Chain A
């Protein structure tokens, strides 16, 4: 195991964030605050409670999910796409690092950043509402698994993409709509049929539901189902990553 190699990639990726500290920390704090002001205060004052909890508190897990997903994907995809784009990837390809080590470095860094971001959002949320977390350990499990899985997904996206458009189209056209339609900011039983049923085909629903359960013990689907779906997604991504490197897909000609 090339531990120094993994650490080099990890530190490089973390340093990239340090250089853009404002973008990585201040921006999410501001957007989170905006969500609380717009959704929590303005709309929340009219929607008094959802599933028995205040609207402001209800959207916290959804907000965390939204940020975890988008930032895991963008961090990991950009991390591997950029060296490919500028050509510096030659160094990684010629280095004695295995697939697993490259993935640990990039995905580890992207997931770490996403988890830190999740915690920042939690802290920010705490200023607006009185946070209660029923199952802190399960909350961390969900946050970690989501961060890792979607960092893996981002990594795949970064390898697959051969231009900036492809890189941004998936998060924009797929992930963001799925998050918004996945019950992040409302409970799907507020929807009329057939939308309620259709919503259950949205994988993000299972993530949000699981995370929300760890906060308030309310969920739209069973927690085990949530946990299973995130694990399945993670293993599918792992399989794809393994295959990509095995064949050298788009990295080695």
Chain B
């Protein structure tokens, strides 16, 4: 992340109250840089869709400002909306239109001159070309999802929002989708996606944000986040059963498994000194031999669950 570059998306002090008085977004501040892939995580009802909807112009903000490439989303809505593509969470498509004509419609609606060749390219990249003359209602759910993605790409957006793009999607489409996301990123497109699948964020995102109760409780580079919050564990399979952790090793806070055959040492991956070397020496001194060892790292999922539990 290049910090002196001007952010493509800047959200400042954004609040959203729905008509019933419910506050769905609370003082959101967020900068997203050009070409980044940002994954937004958060439990149901956290406010992810609301946040995206405000930026796209579907929901009115109650207060605060949002700019896309320096243009205000309200005052310069033409400029901002014409560069944004949105794949909505809900599968909402026309029924009687053909796949091709719905893309022609989307492209026109976003003010772009017709380009059958570009539409063909999009359809081919999503394996929809052979379905181009089919009525949308005759497609399966996953195919409809592809159509929604194609529609969002039909006007060559430079900022793409994917609201839970992989809900109800099979492995193939998921692969295709990440392939397209990587290609788009290579072309300089900024991608903001929401998901409930943490592996997805882990796999694709440059930065990860966590929203809970309308607040961004975390926004961090994925790698830094993994390093900072990721706990590591060293698991030792012992040769001989132990009844208790020897007194001399109390400082390491080791855990002994129930059958007395495994020792677990927990350390953070962040510090320079993990204490492993010292531990090994002390084990030797105490006369504890082991047959095997392995380390595990906590996943983003665990990090995420911990965070949300802490914040609620």
Contact = CB atoms under 8 A, between A and B. Distances in A.
Interface of A: 2, 4-5, 7-9, 11-12, 15-16, 19, 86-88, 90-98, 248, 252-253
A19 B112 contact: no
Given A87-B92, A88-B93, A96-B110, 8 more contacts: A2-B78, A4-B111, A4-B113, A11-B108, A15-B97, A86-B94, A95-B109, A253-B59
A4 B60 contact: no
Nearest to B151: A91
A8 B109 contact: yes
A19 B94 CA distance: 13
B65 interface: no
B111 A252 contact: no
A252 B54 CA distance: 10
B86 interface: yes
A93 B92 contact: no
A252 B56 CA distance: 11
B2 to A, nearest CB: 28
Contacts of B109: 4-5, 8-9, 91-92, 95, 97
B101 A15 contact: yes
B18 A5 contact: no
B292 to A, nearest CB: 55
Given A19-B96, A88-B93, A4 B58 contact: no
Contacts of B59: 252-253
B259 interface: no
B105 A8 contact: yes
A2 B58 contact: no
Nearest to B59: A253
Nearest to A97: B109
7 contacts: A8-B106, A8-B109, A86-B92, A87-B88, A91-B86, A95-B109, A97-B111
B110 A5 contact: yes
